[in-house]
């Protein structure tokens, strides 16, 4: 079992206080957006044996187990994070595995550098993800019913939004959503800035259901993503609730602290709320234009106290143990690799004492026993 020393990424949208509060340290005044736990080459966790990338590369079958290596290759297939949003993240969507392989191969053939700002595919993998709230957590997830989206836009009383309202009423669901998103992202930039400004003013005045979009517009004035965001479901998670985000589902995190797990990939197609590259044709190829319920997940408890967040993905499996006072040790030994993360209280994992925000890597087959009073998240794979 290896105690992990993890990197905190200072993205501009990060909260300045949430991660320091969790860790019990003084804020630096700078945004602290994500703490990464895993073997992503961009910021691998560090152990006494070297980085987790180096540890796994030295003996993949020993660290990951034969079955995981056979299924996913000699790498840890998931990345675990603590995510602290102090401002909205970009409106985005992720490709499925086939789309990622095709897109990556195409950009490789065209000789686009992996670090080029207009590159869409950094790897050939998909990026399904799960976010579990540690605090109240706001996000956008999946398209609203077009008629509900039309009502929301119409309620702003902005004349230049009327064509979008009419489109949402005039077509079948998928065609309506596709046409409106396309129109928003390809509109004249100056005209769109004026429309967004008028919409933001109306959102601020109206409040209520419009409040999240007023806040988005405050952070991204004039951005067409403000209007695109109104096509999506607004979701407010309570602590312990989660969202699963599969391929093709447009989404954005707005505010709050959570535990996030994802397949080990960097592939993101952006729709707005960002100064970064937006590839509209490729985005429209990837987005699934079906209205959907965001589907809030609540963990399913097993007799041994494990609470599992069920998803259709094998690259990761997230669960948690809420350990009350007076309970004995839990045996978490598995034949697959694990990362154990404490988010509350004080727990003991093996010989490691863990407080909030501290974590360990458990190689496949190694004994893993946890005890104490607190909450432990367990990240592993399905083989």
Q: Active-site residues: which are they? A: 270
Determine the Cα–Cα distance for residues 165 and 176; give it in Å rounded to an integer.
10
> Bridge-partner residues for 257, per DSSP?
84
Task: Evaluate whether 104 touches 269 at the Cβ level (below 8 Å).
Answer: no
Pairing of strands 306-309, 242-245: unpaired
Determine the Cα–Cα distance for residues 69 and 333; give it in Å rounded to an integer.
18
CA torsion 343-345-348-354 (nearest 10°) is 50
Which segments of 210-288 does DSSP mark as H helices, in order? Answer: 211-219, 225-229, 280-286
Q: Please name which of 180, 143, 11 lies closest in space to residue 89, comparing C-alpha atoms.
A: 11
138: which 2 tokens?
């706001």
The CA-based angle 257-271-287, given to 5 degrees, is: 100
Q: Please name which of 240, 229, 296, 256 lies closest in space to residue 93, comparing C-alpha atoms.
A: 229
Task: Evaluate whether 132 touches 310 at the Cβ level (below 8 Å).
Answer: no
């Amino acid at each position: 079992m290896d105690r992990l020393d993890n990197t905190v990424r200072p993205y501009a949208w990060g909260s300045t206080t949430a991660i320091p509060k969790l860790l019990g340290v003084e804020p630096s005044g700078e945004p602290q957006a994500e703490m990464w736990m895993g073997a992503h080459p961009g910021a691998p966790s560090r152990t006494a044996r070297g980085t987790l990338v180096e540890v796994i590369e030295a003996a993949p079958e020993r660290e990951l187990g034969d079955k995981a290596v056979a299924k996913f290759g000699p790498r840890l297939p998931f990345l675990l994070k603590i995510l602290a949003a102090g401002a909205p993240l970009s409106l985005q969507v992720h490709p499925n595995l086939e789309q990622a392989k095709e897109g990556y191969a195409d950009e490789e053939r065209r000789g686009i550098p992996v670090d080029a700002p207009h590159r869409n595919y950094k790897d050939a993998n998909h990026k399904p993800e799960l976010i579990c709230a540690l605090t109240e957590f706001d996000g956008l997830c999946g398209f609203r019913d077009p008629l509900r989206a039309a009502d929301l836009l119409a309620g702003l009383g902005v004349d230049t939004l009327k064509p979008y309202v009419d489109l949402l009423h005039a077509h079948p669901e998928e065609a309506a959503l596709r046409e409106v998103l396309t129109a928003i992202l390809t509109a004249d930039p100056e005209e769109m800035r004026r429309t967004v400004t008028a919409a933001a003013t109306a959102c601020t005045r109206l409040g209520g259901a419009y409040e999240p979009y007023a806040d988005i517009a405050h952070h991204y004035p004039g951005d067409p993503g403000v209007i695109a965001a109104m096509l999506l479901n607004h979701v407010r998670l309570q602590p312990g609730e989660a969202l699963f985000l599969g391929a093709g589902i447009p989404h954005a995190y707005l505010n709050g602290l959570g535990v996030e797990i994802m397949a080990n990939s960097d592939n993101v197609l952006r729709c707005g709320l960002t100064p970064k590259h937006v590839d509209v044709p490729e985005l429209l190829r990837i987005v699934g234009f079906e209205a959907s319920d965001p589907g809030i997940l609540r963990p399913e408890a097993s007799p041994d106290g494990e609470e599992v967040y069920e998803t259709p993905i094998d690259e990761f499996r997230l669960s948690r143990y809420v350990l009350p006072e007076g309970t004995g040790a839990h045996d978490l030994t598995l034949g697959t690799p694990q990362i154990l993360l404490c988010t509350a209280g004080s727990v003991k994992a093996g010989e490691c004492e863990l407080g909030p925000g501290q974590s360990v890597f458990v190689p496949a087959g190694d004994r893993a026993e946890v005890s104490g009073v607190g909450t432990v998240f367990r990240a592993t794979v399905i083989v």
